[in-house]
Amino acid sequence: MNNSKDKNQNFAPKTVASSSHSTSWILKLTIGLIGMFAFLQVYSIQAVLPVMMVDFSATEVQAGMIVGATVLAIAIMSPFLGMLSDAVGRKSFIVGALLFLAIPTALIAQSSSIEWVGIWRFMQGLSVPGITVVTIAYIGEEFEGRAMTELMSFYVSGCVLGGFLGRFLMGHLHELIGWRDGYYVMTAMTLLGAIWVGKMLPSSRHFEANPNFRSAIQTLGEHVTNRYVVTACLLGACVLFSLVGCFTFINLHLADKPYELGTGALANIFAVYLLGVIITPLSTTLLRRFGSARTVRVAIIISMIGVLLTLVTPLWGVIIGLAVMSSGVFITQSATISYIAVNVKKGRSLASGLYYMGYYTGGTLGAWLGGIAYARGQWSLTVWLLLFVQVLALLIASFGMIKTTRRAT
């Protein structure tokens, strides 16, 4: 028998303990909140980028890289924290990562230069995989079938909500109390999130520890030659490249003439993210009916149309473009992580870690190359860069994704 199950498993709600197929609303809420708190800090800085560029006399590339610093750290740490979690457990890892995340969030408020902001942003990213990667592994182990797909959609919806709230709250907090004090508020929210998850998330019932490092390396070797994992990693890289590149530099575009939007107005623009909270759970139906490959191809085309719409001049047209673009991205993300969860049965946390490594490497490149493109050709050149990457994503989905099976190869 497995002796590595969490000691507190007896406190799991009966609806979860009785069957791996059943889910309760409190569990769905908790899984959604985990996603929300994981991403509350990752992109919050985007709403105040124009202000920080003035405060620290930063360039467009520097602004992009303080966004990319967190994303880079997530990319680096995802496989390692996945391997470590496979050895020691799930719930404690998630709660510990949330507690650690609060520390650099508070320290951002003390930053005296753009370089220090980048350092603390990097530190934030070190903890995020302990939440994201491990949560995906937790869901894949504890649930199956429709319950797993449903919880994955709640998790992604929570991620979407966190991405919106981080930007929305920081933009308005800056107008009320300044961005420095705003980050203290964000710190308090993260601590409350850790407490909630510690009390409400059921402990693992099906986790089996794999503390053998040699076995983990062997599993890593299997994953990097697994078509399901490799395809998902490449697709994820293209997805986050597009999202980070778009939502980082659209702020600079809209803060400039003829729009000249302030931080509060920029924060309101991110309300388009809320569409993702609604659309992502609905994507479960699309996945069951059409499968991951077809769903992803359609979602990428939708996202490309949205990017093109941002080239129009009226502000309402730009907002519609952002809404369409982000909706396509969220559906793609939900389909891709479900693709891994369904097809990879061994070393799930490590597989998720590799996916997030590819995903956030793409985000780092989006922040860096997007900054170069914006500095040289403003928003129009940035759009063509995003479209190029989305064409690559479409090719990967068309030729790389195969019909999902119940057993991974």
Question: What parts of the chain have a pLDDT lower than 50?
Answer: 1-21, 404-409
313: Cβ–Cβ under 8 A, 6 or more apart, which residues? 258
Closest CA to 272 of 326, 313, 311, 317: 326
- Bond prior to 258 in cis (omega within 30° of 0): yes
Q: How far apart are CA 124 and CA 306, in angstroms?
A: 30
330: number of CA atoms within 13 Å, CB side?
A: 33
Given a contact cutoff of 8 angstroms between Cβ atoms, the answer to whether 45 and 173 are in contact is no
Q: What is the dihedral of CA 189, 71, 276, 91, to 10 degrees?
A: -50
Statement: the pTM of the whole predicted model exceeds 0.75: no
Token pair 């990693």 is found at 233
For residue 31, the model assigns a pLDDT of: 93
Q: How far apart are CA 160 and CA 170, in angstroms?
A: 16
Any idea which fold 18-198+211-400 has? Growth Hormone; Chain: A; (1.20.1250)
- Render pLDDT for 239-297 as a digit per residue (tens, 0 to 9): 889 988 998 899 889 988 888 888 888 888 888 877 766 776 677 777 777 777 788 88
Closest CA to 82 of 99, 60, 97: 97
SS (H, E, C) 102-126: HHHHHHHCCCCCHHHHHHHHHHHHH
User: Tokens standing for 14?
Assistant: 């009966």
Given a contact cutoff of 8 angstroms between Cβ atoms, the answer to whether 198 and 314 are in contact is no
Given a contact cutoff of 8 angstroms between Cβ atoms, the answer to whether 371 and 252 are in contact is no
In the chain, helix, strand, coil percent, each to 5?
80, 0, 20
Query: Which amino acid appears at position 103 of this protein?
Result: I
Token pair 């119940």 is found at 406
Token pair 């099906």 is found at 206
User: Tokens standing for 266?
Assistant: 């920029």
125: Cβ–Cβ under 8 A, 6 or more apart, which residues? 42, 69, 70, 71, 72, 73, 74, 76, 77, 360
Closest CA to 237 of 356, 152, 136: 356
SS (H, E, C) 52-107: HHHHCCCCHHHHHHHHHHHHHHHHHHHHHHHHHHHHHCCHHHHHHHHHHHHHHHHH
Closest CA to 81 of 96, 65, 99, 66: 96
For residue 408, the model assigns a pLDDT of: 37
User: Tokens standing for 138?
Assistant: 């937790």
- Please report the DSSP string for 230-284 in residue order: HHHHHHHHHHHHHHHHHHHHHHHHHHSTTT---HHHHHHHGGGGHHHHHHHHHHH
Neighbour-count burial of 93, counting CB atoms closer than 10 A to its CB (0-12 exposed, 13-18 middle, 19+ buried): buried
- Please report the DSSP string for 357-378 in residue order: HHHHHHHHHHHHHHHHHHHHHH
For residue 2, the model assigns a pLDDT of: 44
Q: How far apart are CA 118 and CA 125, in angstroms?
A: 11
User: Tokens standing for 141?
Assistant: 């182990």
For residue 210, the model assigns a pLDDT of: 64
Buried b (16+ CB within 10 A) or exposed e, 33-72: bbbbbbbbbbbbbbbbbbbbbeebebebbbbbbbbbbbbb
Tell me the chain's radius of gyration from C-alpha atoms: 20
166: Cβ–Cβ under 8 A, 6 or more apart, which residues? 39, 40, 41, 42, 43, 44, 186
